Amino acid sequence: DAMVIQNPRYQVTQFGKPVTLSCSQTLNHNVMYWYQQKSSQAPKLLFHYYDKDFNNEADTPDNFQSRRPNTSFCFLDIRSPGLGDAAMYLCATSRDWASGTHEQYFGPGTRLTVT
Amino acid sequence: AQSVTQLGSHVSVSEGALVLLRCNYSSSVPPYLFWYVQYPNQGLQLLLKYTTGATLVKGINGFEAEFKKSETSFHLTKPSAHMSDAAEYFCAVSENTGFQKLVFGTGTRLLVSP
């Protein structure tokens, strides 16, 4: 089945220690998104890629970076995690906006704990 | 700017009762509207969407929603709740021009009692 895969599902890192979260998709979608979701809150968009074109949300901290080496993979790098970065990180994909379909397909998420 | 308001952070129903989760939106252009469901420690799953056409849309698991432009609403309903419906539900809106960023409501947790 075509899907969005996130690894690992649970990640523990130390305060200030860089961490990378991975997302892959078999849907061949042009657009990939990273969201941060804190407990009992709505997902908050961090950035998205339209093909290789990177788009950062205005309020996304510089501590968060992303890479998309090819269509299938996208990475979220947190350079110096703080306690406030503990959250669920969701990856999502969607088709080209010109296709007329607009829903986003989400992966299962990676829950990040910062100790 | 778009926004979504979900009335009630928690809704409790008995198994077999009607489910009604409320969503109101604000958008300067005709919106695209979505309902997503999230189970604990899982990602979001699309329940249903409205883009154009029929204003009553049917989704998975027996859910449906009606787009009412005059009321700027997109309430989610299910005639008979099942225990497995207990989850967090998010309403979202995107504008159908350019980058279709999803703006989510704050979510409603549905609790289903036996």
Segment B40-50 shows an average pLDDT of 92
Residue B17 is which amino acid?
Answer: A
Contact A34, A90 (CB under 8 A): yes
The model's confidence at residue B31, banded by pLDDT at 50, 70 and 90, is confident
A103 → closest Cβ in B34, B90, B105: B34
pLDDT at A113: 97
- In whole angstroms, what is the distance from residue A50 CA to residue A93 CA? 10
Interfacial residues of A (vs B; Cβ cutoff 8 Å): 4, 6, 9, 40-43, 45, 48, 50, 55, 88, 90, 92, 94, 97, 100, 102-109, 111
**Chain B contacts of A88, Cβ < 8 Å?**
41
pLDDT at A11: 97
**Chain A contacts of B1, Cβ < 8 Å?**
none
Count of C-beta atoms within a 10 Å radius of residue A80: 12
pLDDT tens sequence across A39-97: 889 999 999 999 999 999 999 999 999 999 999 999 999 999 999 999 999 999 998 77
Residue position matching structure tokens 């009992």: A40
pLDDT at A2: 65
pLDDT at A1: 67
Segment A9-26 shows an average pLDDT of 96
